[in-house]
Structure 1
Amino acid sequence: MNPSITKCSHSEVASLYVLKALCALFVVLLHAPLGIATEYGRILAATAVPLFFMITGYFLYSEDPNKVAARALKTAKKAIVLWLICTLVYYPIAPIEGALSETYMLYLKLLIWGMPPAAGHLWYLMALAQGMLVIAALYRLGMGKLFPYLIALWFLGFSVEDYRPIVFGSEPSVLSANFIIKALPCLAAGMWVAQRKMALLQYKSWGIALACGIALLYLDLFWGRSLLPSYIILKPFITTTVIFTAFVTCLQFPSWGHGSKVAYVGQALSGNIYYWHGLPIILFTQVLTQFSSQYEAYGALIVFVMSLGFAYLIVKVQNRLGVCIL
């Protein structure tokens, strides 16, 4: 879903594009229902956005710090442009609730989430831009060697997102959608993997570790949640394991999906699927309410197919015009 980095010093990894296509589907599943499969799907779908960030970080990395800074700054600029375009499109159909003069929280949410509320998924672009600006600054200042330490921020996210309901009995913090605990650690993790790729690939059992992690994610669900509350404490670590092992497993098999339509979707269309899947969701939830039963049963698939078609149209129009904005 990276809006800028499509080529780098690394050889092309088709399997990462397949992974991006799968993550695009997962993102849609996070926001649209799929009948009785919704709960089962969303457990694994929680890995989608961190994987998007990690893939971006992987392609961002270079041994030349100047290249890293330049790539990061270019991506930040394009992410901001994309956020502005998406916000202008979404705002008329999903306006901000409340007057901007009433409370600073609205401005805070604009900065963190990429409002309007019905297009809350745009927080990704804002977090990406802010994360890239931090990385660009670090490398410009000659402090690029600090980037691996940013991975530790991943675990800070546990306290404001995963454990907050346990400790305070409330919903996750507004900071859950934030470049500090989302973009920076995941981008840094992707860069770290790129830097140590050859050493990591010496271990041949990443796929087995991935299968075990996925099984653990679903263990409590299939056991009727009998493992609570210990499972709640362990789940963020299990999810992290699934994210990391899925990423490295794809690197072990770089030719997976080479030349396939799935890889094309991941490489060329996944970004626009992410940006615009909110439009068919709004269409079915606010306009075509007479199809609510069908939407509840198959919404995620319907939204994904519609978003896929829209993304394909955007790419074709841009190719015809010789531009690449979205």
Structure 2
Amino acid sequence: MDILKAICAFLIVCIHVPFPGRVGAYFTALTRIAVPVFFMITGYFYSDTVARHKEKQQIEKIFYLIVEANILFFIWNIALNVLRRENIVAYIRSIFTGKNIIEFLALNESPLAGHLWYLGAILYVLVIVLLMDEFNCRKILCCLTLVLLIVDLVFGKYSLLIFHREFPYILVRNFLCVGIPYFCIGNLIREKRYSEKWNKKVLQILIVAFAITTLAERFALVNAGLNATRDHYISTTFLAICLFVYILKSNWHNKGLAMIGRKYSTWLYIIHPIFITVFSTVVGKLGLKSIYRYVAPIVVYCATLVFLIILQKVKIAMKSK
């Protein structure tokens, strides 16, 4: 499962700094499984968390992670404003508005960095699941899973087709329409042992099939002029589930990828946008954009990973003194 974390971390980098052209756009459609898979992983291992009575510790850990990540991006954004000679006071005022605070608290949308919504969403999911368990009614969440996934599609990717208009994607890209359903799916796969019941070869066929249908969905929506901003297709859920179960059954062994997934995937997710900004600025000044864009996801992923490894070694060295 750690290997899957490492792979999904790379896919998320590909979302934020995609490969160029039509091929890149279609590949990005496939990478949308990454965040659902991360929620599924949390749900899958939640039984272990409960067995060790560490539910509250997990919530506390995520809470501090949210604080650290937002402080980091606040400092980073201030630094960028200084370098760009922009008005820092105006920037700070633009962050702490009533609308931003409401969106942050209700929809997990951080005004400091959009991708940090995931941390807020997983925190809310864990709190909700803990409360539901207190009243022995977690089954309600499982029953709502299909409804919430449909809501995501109706008001998200298929909103232009159904309503002839788009809704702000943060209305569905949050703990409610993404976090809870995928957490529950991962949890059900563990508790019902679905991975033991599914044939590996069938899963391989399904992965290919749902990858094709994902691309077909994008093709159809784009050509019809109905491709809304929200990024989850109908096939995204099925592709994520099939890949998740396939990895469970495969028992892949790769120490390098496993280490990346176990030790670095969380912070790789958090800080990679900083490296995107740095590299895009540097290559722009060097006139290398035309070359860089073909390798940008790989460069950003590797650079972020190297930075985290060095940072960890520095921390270890400082502690040993």
Q: Choose 49-58 or 137-146, whichever is displaced more.
A: 137-146
Contact 1:273 1:307 (8 Å CA) reproduced: yes
Matched, 1:67 2:64: no
Give, in angstroms, the shift of residue 121 of structure 1.
Answer: 0.7
Partner of 2:37: 51
- Counterpart for residue 212 of structure 2: 215
* Aligned partner (choices 141, 151, 168) of residue 145 of structure 2: 151
Q: Distance in 2 between matches of 1:252 and 1:219?
A: 28
Q: What is the one-letter code of the residue matched to 1:129?
A: L
1:245: which partner in 2? 242
Distance 1:317 1:175, change over 3 A: farther
Kindly state the Cα deviation for residue 41 of structure 1 after the two structures are TM-superposed: 2.1
> 2: CA distance between counterparts of 1:72 and 1:269?
22
* Cα pair distance change 1:250/1:40, threshold 3 Å: same
Structure 1 partner of 2:265: 270
- Matched residue, 1:11: none
Which residue identity does 1:214 align to in structure 2? A
Q: Return the offset for 1:251.
A: 1.5
Amino acid at match of 1:77: E
**Percent identity, aligned pairs only?**
23
The separation in 1 between residues aligned to 2:55 and 2:31, in whole angstroms, is: 27
Query: Paired residue for 2:120?
Result: 126
Q: Superposed, which structure 2 residues align to 1:1-326 within 5 Å? A: 16-36=1-21, 37-62=23-48, 67=51, 70-94=53-77, 97=91, 99=93, 103-111=97-105, 112-117=107-112, 119-152=113-146, 153-166=148-161, 167-170=163-166, 172-197=168-193, 199-204=194-199, 205-219=202-216, 236-253=233-250, 255-256=251-252, 258-286=253-281, 289-291=284-286, 292-319=289-316
Structure 1 residues 255-297: Cα deviation after superposition (integer angstroms, max 9, x where no partner): 21x2431222122221111011011112134565314434433
Report the Cα offset of residue 221 of structure 1.
6.0
- Report the CA distance shift for 1:137/1:67 in structure 2 as closer, same or farther (over 3 A): farther
Letter matched to residue 201 of structure 1? E
Q: In the TM superposition, what whole-angstrom CA distance separates every residue of 1:2-33 from its partner, at most 9, and x where no partner exists?
A: xxxxxxxxxxxxxx222211111110011113
What TM-score results when the alignment is normalised by the length of structure 2? Answer: 0.81
1:19 partner amino acid: L
Paired residue type of 2:19:
L
Q: Distance in 2 between matches of 1:26 and 1:290?
A: 27
Given that 1:83 and 1:114 are in contact with CA atoms closer than 8 Å, whether structure 2 keeps it comes out as: no
For the 8 Å contact 2:5–2:38, the answer to whether it is kept is: yes
Cα distance per residue 1:149-171 (max 9 Å; x no partner):
24222222112321223324235
Give the drift of 1:307: 1.1
Residues 290-311 of structure 1 deviation map (CA, whole Å, 9 limit, x = unaligned): 1443443322111111111122
Normalized per residue, which structure has more helix? 2
Residue pair 1:17, 1:267 contacting (<8 A) in 2 also: yes
In 1, are the aligned partners of 2:18 and 2:24 still within 8 Å (CA)? yes
User: Within 2, Cα distance between the matches of 1:144 and 1:113?
Assistant: 22
Normalising by structure 1, we get a TM-score of 0.80
1:213 Cα deviation after fit: 0.8
- Report the CA distance shift for 1:181/1:314 in structure 2 as closer, same or farther (over 3 A): farther
Instruction: Supply the distance in 2 between the matched residues of 1:147 and 1:223 (Cα, whole angstroms).
Output: 32
Structure 2: runs of 5 or more not aligned: 79-89
Task: Please provide the CA RMSD for this pair.
Answer: 3.1
**167-176 vs 273-282, which moves further:** 167-176
